């Protein structure tokens, strides 16, 4: 069937500012070239919708737009929420998903698939959604239909970012700035190629800790804090203290990193990336042995700094390396960690 409308959604790598977008903090993601494409075609032979994805190889016939509990929810949710917004009954459409973005490794394929579908729908029904509307709708679908997801970062950078500028975003008031990345350096993404062990419950557990720590300290969100005082430490549980320490210090690191990016200082920027990783590992508790190994291998083979990217619990690391050292680094990584894949 011939596609009559196409939408594309990009992935991202978060350079620093991990687990801050649901704590009212600042983040620094960079859009990447890898994207998901949604092709939409009319199909008079079906009642509702059908979906196929090159990552799953099974055509799904959806009889009713309701939650199924699998990957199709991103498309079903897009149809439902888009339909509701514009009072359209969506039917007799086929969706073909083609992806160049590895899924579930922390590069935000979930936001990319939702945005590609919404864009395809917008084109087809001739609805000119503003960037803000698109971001909000995609966020709403991921959080309130699919039922996972953090803050607004992934949708934001997929829509408003680009591949040459990092997006410095204040997730609390949504102010943002695009900043040129280092000229002769690469943010190389290395997939640890291990099954991600992030479950909703583990992710939600971290969110709960942030929430309970905020409540105890009378804050709307943790990033309002700049320093954790002695009194704070007394009222927080050990677990709450640890997540709080990561969040508060990470937010400060992001602001410093932005300055180093503007000052064209990759050495100091890299150091902050590694500090971020150590904090994610030691205090936030979301790293794995494989991610730690990739970080230390990269750093010992000439990278300026490295960290896990995305929520953690497996997935990928991002490492800052000079362009002319990339190939050598890849070779050395593979010699010491043969499962690694470069995105």
| Residue 276 lies near Mg ion (rule: CB under 5 A) | no
| Residue 171 lies near ligand ADP (rule: CB under 6 A) | no
Cβ closest to ligand ADP, residue 236 vs residue 294: 294
| Residue 158 lies near ligand ADP (rule: CB under 6 A) | no
Which stretches within 41-189 are classed as H helix?
73-86, 109-124, 131-141, 153-160
Helices vs strands, H then E, count in the chain: 10, 12
Cβ closest to ligand ADP, residue 59 vs residue 215: 59
DSSP summary character for residue 195 = -
Q: Of 14, 31, 53, 96, which one interacts with ligand ADP (CB under 6 A)?
A: 53
- With CB under 5 to 8 Å by kind, the binding choice for 36 among ligand ADP, Mg ion, none is ligand ADP
R_g of the chain computed on alpha carbons: 20
Nearest to 47 by CA among 77, 78, 95, 90: 90
What burial class does residue 330 get, using C-beta atoms within 10 Å of its C-beta: 0-12 exposed, 13-18 middle, 19+ buried? middle
Tokens 């804050």 label which residue? 219
CB atoms within 10 A of CB 318: 28
| Residue 167 lies near ligand ADP (rule: CB under 6 A) | no
Q: Of 10, 74, 168, 313, which one interacts with ligand ADP (CB under 6 A)?
A: 74
Select from 108-116, 183-191, 220-228, 330-338 the region that touches ligand ADP (CB under 6 A).
108-116
- Catalytic one among 154, 232, 238, 264? 154
Number of chain residues interacting with ligand ADP (CB under 6 A): 17
Nearest to 297 by CA among 275, 315, 274: 274
Among positions 94-133, residues that touch Mg ion (CB under 5 A) are 110
- With CB under 5 to 8 Å by kind, the binding choice for 309 among Mg ion, ligand ADP, none is none
Nearest to 71 by CA among 179, 122, 153, 146: 146
Residue 54 a catalytic site member = no
Q: Which residues does residue 37 pair with via DSSP β-bridges, in sequence order?
A: 8, 98
Q: How far is the CB of 142 from ligand ADP (least distance, A)?
A: 8
| Residue 316 lies near ligand ADP (rule: CB under 6 A) | no
What burial class does residue 199 get, using C-beta atoms within 10 Å of its C-beta: 0-12 exposed, 13-18 middle, 19+ buried? exposed
Q: Site residues (CB under 5 A) for Mg ion?
A: 110
Which active-site residues does the annotation give?
154
Q: Site residues (CB under 6 A) for ligand ADP?
A: 36, 53, 55-56, 71, 74, 97, 99, 103-104, 106-110, 113, 310
């Amino acid at each position: 069937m011939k596609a009559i409308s196409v939408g594309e959604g990009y992935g991202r790598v978060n350079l620093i500012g991990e687990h801050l977008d649901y704590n009212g903090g600042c983040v620094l993601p960079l859009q990447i070239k890898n994207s998901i494409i949604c092709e939409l075609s009319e199909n008079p032979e079906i009642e509702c919708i059908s979906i196929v994805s090159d990552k799953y190889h099974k055509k799904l016939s959806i009889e009713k737009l309701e939650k199924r509990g699998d990957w199709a929810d991103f498309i079903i949710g897009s149809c439902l929420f888009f339909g509701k917004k514009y009072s359209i009954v969506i039917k007799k459409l086929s969706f073909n998903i083609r992806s160049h973005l590895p899924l579930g490794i922390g590069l935000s394929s979930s936001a990319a698939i939702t945005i590609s579908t919404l864009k395809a729908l917008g084109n087809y029904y001739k609805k000119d959604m503003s960037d803000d509307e698109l971001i909000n709708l995609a966020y709403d679908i991921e959080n309130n239909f699919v039922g996972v997801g953090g803050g607004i970062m992934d949708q934001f950078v997929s829509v408003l970012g680009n591949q040459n500028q990092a997006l410095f975003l204040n997730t609390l008031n949504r102010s943002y700035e695009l900043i040129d990345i280092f000229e002769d350096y690469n943010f190389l993404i290395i997939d640890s190629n291990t099954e991600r062990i992030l479950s909703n419950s583990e992710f939600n557990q971290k969110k709960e800790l942030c929430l309970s720590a905020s409540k105890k300290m009378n804050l709307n969100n943790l990033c309002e804090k700049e320093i954790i005082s002695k009194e704070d430490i007394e009222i927080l549980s050990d677990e709450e203290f640890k997540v709080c320490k990561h969040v508060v210090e990470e937010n400060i690191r992001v602001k410093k990193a932005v300055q180093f990016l503007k000052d064209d200082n990759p050495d100091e920027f890299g150091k902050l990336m590694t500090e971020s990783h150590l904090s994610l590992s030691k205090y936030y508790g979301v790293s794995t042995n494989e991610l730690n190994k990739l970080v230390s291998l990269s750093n010992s083979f000439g990278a300026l700094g490295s960290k896990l990217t995305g929520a953690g619990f497996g997935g990928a690391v991002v490492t800052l390396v000079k362009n002319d050292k990339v190939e050598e680094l890849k070779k050395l990584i593979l010699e010491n960690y043969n499962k690694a894949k470069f995105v």
